[in-house]
Structure 1
Amino acid sequence: MLRYIIGMTKIVHGLMNHLNGRRKLVLWSILKEFLVKKKLSLSILGTGALLLLSACGHGDVTSQSSGVWERLILTFGKAIQGLSFGGSIGLGIIIFTILIRAVMIPLYNRQIKSSRELQELQPELRRLQSEYPGRENREALAYAQQELYKEHGVNPYASFLPLIIQFPILMALYGALTRVPELREGSFLWVDLGQKDPYFILPILAAAFTFLSTWLTNKVAKDRSAMLIVMNIMLPIFIFWFGTQISSGVALYWTVSNAFQVVQILVFNNPFKIIAERNRLEAEEKERKAKIRRAKKKANKRK
């Protein structure tokens, strides 16, 4: 599966190298239209991700295993074991997850910054879409969007880089929790880490933290589309379902990771502070315009 992913990546990279700037933008517009306007089901995306993770291998990974991917999985497994103070594999998973998420904070902040810049441009992007309606104007629309991004110094693809980097890490961690026997056979509190949570506590917590993180992230959006509202509802539902289908070790990782995400948002991108600052700036702008109007009225009266 890893070779397949690398091969597909090379094919896509080669294809993109043969496209000029406008055609790349047209391709991006088509993909965006398919994913957003067609509202591709989150359950389908999630199921595909689950199948991809499951397809990465099923056999146990031990010190005798060979292959780059297996060695990476074993390295993750050894790291978790080394952090399992008192022999608690669950504690090792929690600490390792926090460390991984902490290392990726700069990537997260870059992703959030890029997403916020794109959100600020949404009114202008909608205006361009109304100026260039229909499939026949797709290339002109893509070019106009490119010029808008250049004018504001926004890279529309920047938010995808952190996701691309995080995905192999998630896959390796998933492999460690499911294919390293020492981790799979551990226990933590009420659960066997290699079995599903019998009380659904971890899936419920993972879904709750997912809802909080998406709600906090989307709270700063000036224009909350129907798609954002659907995501706020459907994503936690999918995470709950996902948590009931996987081992408790993976569910524990997912719960801790999503809880970390909530804390991270509140610390680095607190939506309440952002909204308060935005309201303050808007109030100052209104007051400035009001002063200008009053000054003009006084000037007119003197005439």
Structure 2
Amino acid sequence: MRKKLLTASALIAVVALLSGCTEVNEPITDESTGIWNNWFVRPLSDLILWVARLFDADYGFGLSIVLVTLLIRLVLLPLNIKQLKSSKAMQDIQPQLQEIREKYSSKDQQTQQKLQQETMELFQKNGVNPLAGCLPIIVQMPILIAFYHAIMRTEALDGHHFLWFQLDQPDPYHILPILTAAFTFLQQKLMMAGTSTQQNSMMPQMTMMLYMMPIMIGVFAFFFPSALALYWVVGNIFMVLQTLLVKNPMMKRDEAKAGGNQK
């Protein structure tokens, strides 16, 4: 889990460097230059505008964000399923991993080599690839950050309304930030469903993210344009449904297998 967090953090830093943090406030246009703008941000901005024109109404831009968000999540669905399965497999072997770490707790080189050897044997025995969960993150992060840029830098969104809010202004009633935080927490909670208290104690990073991520995203949504908060809400609702549809069957299969073994 620590390696995954470090990988994700390093990737975010690389993408931020590629995209240029100062460009967030610069409109995306046909004159925008650079690989990040031409290959990532502008195609998504053009897609938002194209879908909005299909409805030819003031609410079309908000509806476009909803539909494009769902489209992106559907495209990324196979990778998300792979990530869920990898996360579930890593959770299942946490007790055995902890036993091995306690068995080889000494820090000398020979003991650490034995620790690595038995850890790899455990992974192979259970068909777990500790790096499998990193690939979906590596692929998804540039796309999601580019969509964030497309929403923030598409000037055509300015002045348009959707439901009770204006897309280029923060939600005046703070409903979207609350929904954003709530669905982020629910999605994280569902990801941890089926793990015991002992397993959770072995993965303190997951427990920390359960509470920190919703707070952080919710605070951002209070100050950012409602268009971005709308994207977060729709994306998190999709992720909640995805987790329920994918992880619940896996948990039921594990319960059925455990019941059969007891018989």
Q: Give the TM-score normalised by the residue count of structure 2.
A: 0.83
Distance 1:134 1:250 in 2: 49
User: How far apart are 1:184 and its partner, in Å?
Assistant: 4.0
- For residues 92-129 of structure 1, give each alpha carbon's deviation from its aligned partner in whole angstroms, at most 9, with x where no partner exists: 00000000000111001111111111112112111110
Distance 1:78 1:127, change over 3 A: same
- For residues 233-268 of structure 1, give each alpha carbon's deviation from its aligned partner in whole angstroms, at most 9, with x where no partner exists: 332222211211321111110110000001111222
Within the candidate set 84, 89, 106, 1:117 is matched to: 89
User: 2:37 is matched with which residue?
Assistant: 70
User: 1:257 is matched with which residue?
Assistant: 235
Task: Specify the structure having the higher radius of gyration (Cα).
Answer: 1
Which has the bigger relative contact order, CA under 8 A and spacing at least 6?
A: 2
Distance 2:98 2:22 in 1: 41
Written as runs of structure 1 = structure 2, the 5 A alignment for 1:1-303 is 32=3, 52=16, 55=21, 57=23, 58-71=25-38, 72-84=40-52, 85-87=55-57, 88-136=60-108, 137-222=111-196, 223-226=198-201, 227=204, 228-270=206-248, 273-287=249-263
Q: CA contact under 8 A between 1:191 and 1:197: conserved in structure 2?
A: yes
Aligned residue identity for 1:188:
F
- The more displaced of 107-116 and 229-238 is 229-238
Distance 2:97 2:156 in 1: 52
Distance 1:32 1:164, change over 3 A: closer
Percent identity, please: 35
Q: Give the TM-score normalised by the residue count of structure 1.
A: 0.73
Q: CA contact under 8 A between 1:195 and 1:247: conserved in structure 2?
A: yes
3-state SS of 1:269 partner: helix
Aligned residue identity for 1:214:
Q
Q: CA contact under 8 A between 2:91 and 2:199: conserved in structure 1?
A: no
**Unaligned 5+ residue runs, structure 1?**
1-27, 36-44, 288-303
User: How far apart are 1:185 and its partner, in Å?
Assistant: 4.1
- For residues 249-295 of structure 1, give each alpha carbon's deviation from its aligned partner in whole angstroms, at most 9, with x where no partner exists: 1111011000000111122222xx444443333233222xxxxxxxx
- The root-mean-square deviation of aligned C-alpha atoms, in Å, is 2.6
Distance 2:142 2:47 in 1: 17
3-state SS of 2:169 partner: coil
Q: CA contact under 8 A between 2:70 and 2:238: conserved in structure 1?
A: yes
Distance 1:163 1:91 in 2: 27
3-state SS of 1:167 partner: helix
3-state SS of 1:236 partner: helix
How many residue pairs end up in the alignment? 244
Aligned residue identity for 2:56:
G
Q: CA contact under 8 A between 2:4 and 2:134: conserved in structure 1?
A: no
- The more displaced of 100-109 and 196-205 is 196-205
Distance 1:139 1:246 in 2: 49
Distance 1:75 1:184, change over 3 A: farther
Q: CA contact under 8 A between 1:202 and 1:252: conserved in structure 2?
A: yes
